[in-house]
Amino acid sequence: MSDSGFGSSTLVLALVGSAVTVLSTFLGALPALAARSISQRSKDVLMGFSAGVMLAATAFSLIVPAIRLVEERTTSRFLPACIVGGSMLVGGLFLHLCNRFIPHEHFIKGQEGNAEAVRMKRIWLFVLAIALHNFPEGLAVGTGVGSRSMTIAAPILVGIGLQDIPEGFVVALALMGVAYSRKQAVLVALYTGLVEGVAALVGFFATSFASGVLPWALAFAGGSMLYVVSDEMIPESHRQEYAKEATAGLMVGFVLMMFLDVTLS
């Protein structure tokens, strides 16, 4: 699966994938230092856009390559569907268990996870919530880069990096909206970007040194991302009166990511 588009240094590949996730989130949050506020409509459109990018990345950049990789190793039409489908469900279950047992707080839904959450500072609950949200994205980036295939990695890197920018901006403004300073808001975005970067390294090393797990890892990351989109992003973007605008954002994000996947592949 190695393409000539990648160099030979595995360390460089890992750092590039990790840096994309960290810097995109941080750069997206920086404009919040100058912005006073953003309308709820704009927030919902940006959230919908991010959801659309993640949905398309899940389908075209993770699930389809995973199926093709398994198909290359077997003549069965049944086995690829079972392996990829099962790995997706495990990825979704992993995020469900994280949401259930790790204390965190959403901006709208409030506290979730372990009851010990009430003993933590509120800002760290927000950090954990956003980190849980971002982990599958980093995992997807790292898994794509770990494949050493530009065909697989390039659309994921560009797409996730692209959607991290508006996401970082919205997160920073949301924190400012619950009485945190601009500096705190940007730092939280940086912290969550670092978590995404660590997840990228985990995905990279898991697939880089055990290439046989690549289709499973791609599907696991896809299932995790699908869970986040369905459980958090779409409900939150439709919670106010701008559901149609959020849907339009989702459609644009989906089509843009599909375009990137086709052209970059």
Whether the CB-CB separation of 136 and 195 falls below 8 Å is answered with no
Predicted pLDDT of residue 212: 80
The contacts of residue 124 (CB under 8 Å, 6+ apart) are none
CA 60 to chain centre: 14
Predicted pLDDT of residue 224: 93
The tokens describing 177, both together, are 């909206």
Encode the chain (265 residues) as per-residue pLDDT tens digits: 445 444 445 567 767 778 888 888 888 888 877 776 778 888 899 889 989 999 999 999 999 999 999 998 888 889 999 999 999 999 999 999 988 887 766 655 656 656 455 555 666 666 777 778 788 988 888 888 888 888 888 888 888 888 888 888 887 887 777 777 888 888 888 888 888 888 888 888 888 777 688 899 999 999 999 999 998 889 988 988 999 999 999 999 999 999 988 888 6
Predicted pLDDT of residue 5: 46
Q: What's the one-letter identity of residue 216?
A: W
The angle, 0 to 180 degrees and rounded to 10, between the axes of the packed helices 64-71 and 214-228 is: 160
SS3 of the chain: the string is CCCCCCCCCHHHHHHHHHHHHHHHHHHHHHHHHCCCCCCHHHHHHHHHHHHHHHHHHHHHHHHHHHHHHHHCCCCCCHHHHHHHHHHHHHHHHHHHHHHHHCCEEECCCEEECCHHHHHCCHHHHHHHHHHHHHHHHHHHHHHHHHCCCHHHHHHHHHHHHHHHHHHHHHHHHHHHHCCCCHHHHHHHHHHHHHHHHHHHHHHHHHHHCCHHHHHHHHHHHHHHHHHHHHHHHHHHHCCCCCHHHHHHHHHHHHHHHHHHHHHHC
Q: Which residue has the tokens 């992993």?
A: 94
Predicted pLDDT of residue 7: 46
Length of the chain: 265
Predicted pLDDT of residue 93: 96
Beta-bridged to residue 106, according to DSSP, are: 110
Predicted pLDDT of residue 230: 93
